[in-house]
C-alpha cells in the first residue's frame, strides 16, 4: 500500500518549518490554484547570502524527502541568488533580497486580495 499523498497545505507547513529553522527572512505563501494551472501554492523567502540561501534550500529539500514528498525539480543552485524548488503542489522560491525586490513575485502572485 502506497503512502497517502500529502495535501498542499501540509507541504506548505513542512516547508515553513524548514524555512523558520534556518532563519529565512520574510516568509510568504500564496494560494494560487484559482489562477494557476501548475501549482496550488507559491512560497517566497529570502536568505542573507548565497551560502544562507543554499543552506535553506538544502534543508527544505531534506525535509521534503524525509516526509516522502516528491521533488519534481530544482533550479538555480549554481547562481545562489534564487533557488526554486518544485514540489508539485507547492513551488518554493528562496531568494536574495536584491533578486526578490527586482522580480517582485509577491505582486505577481498575490492577486486574491486585488
Q: Is residue 45 part of a domain?
A: yes
Q: Is residue 114 part of a domain?
A: no
Q: Give residue 43's domain range.
A: 8-108
Q: Is residue 91 part of a domain?
A: yes
Q: Which of 97, 102, 105, 109 is nearest to 46 (CA)?
A: 97
Domains held by the chain: number: 1
Which CATH number characterizes residue 69's domain?
Answer: 3.30.460.10
Q: Is residue 3 part of a domain?
A: no
Q: Is residue 113 part of a domain?
A: no
d(CA 59, CA 18): 6
> For residues 94-107, b (16+ Cβ closer than 10 Å) or e, as one string?
bbbeebbeeeebee
| pLDDT of amino acid 113 | 41
Per-residue tens of pLDDT for the chain, all 114 residues: 445 557 889 999 999 999 999 999 999 999 998 888 889 999 999 999 999 999 999 999 999 999 999 999 999 988 879 999 999 999 999 999 999 999 988 888 776 544
Q: Is residue 44 part of a domain?
A: yes
Q: Is residue 29 part of a domain?
A: yes
| pLDDT of amino acid 112 | 53
| pLDDT of amino acid 83 | 97
Residue 105 grid cell: 513575485
Give the chain's length: 114
Q: Which of 90, 97, 103, 91 is nearest to 26 (CA)?
A: 97
Q: Is residue 104 part of a domain?
A: yes
Amino acid at each position: 500500500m502506497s503512502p497517502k499523498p500529502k495535501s498542499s497545505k501540509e507541504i506548505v507547513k513542512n516547508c515553513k518549518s524548514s524555512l523558520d529553522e534556518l532563519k529565512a527572512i520574510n516568509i510568504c505563501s500564496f494560494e494560487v490554484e484559482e489562477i494557476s494551472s501548475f501549482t496550488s501554492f507559491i512560497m517566497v523567502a529570502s536568505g542573507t547570502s548565497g551560502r544562507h540561501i543554499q543552506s535553506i534550500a538544502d534543508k527544505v529539500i531534506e525535509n521534503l524527502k524525509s516526509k516522502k514528498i516528491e521533488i519534481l525539480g530544482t533550479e538555480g543552485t549554481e547562481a545562489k541568488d534564487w533557488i526554486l524548488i518544485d514540489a508539485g503542489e507547492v513551488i518554493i522560491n528562496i531568494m536574495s533580497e536584491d533578486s526578490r525586490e527586482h522580480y517582485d513575485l509577491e505582486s505577481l502572485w498575490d492577486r486574491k486580495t486585488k
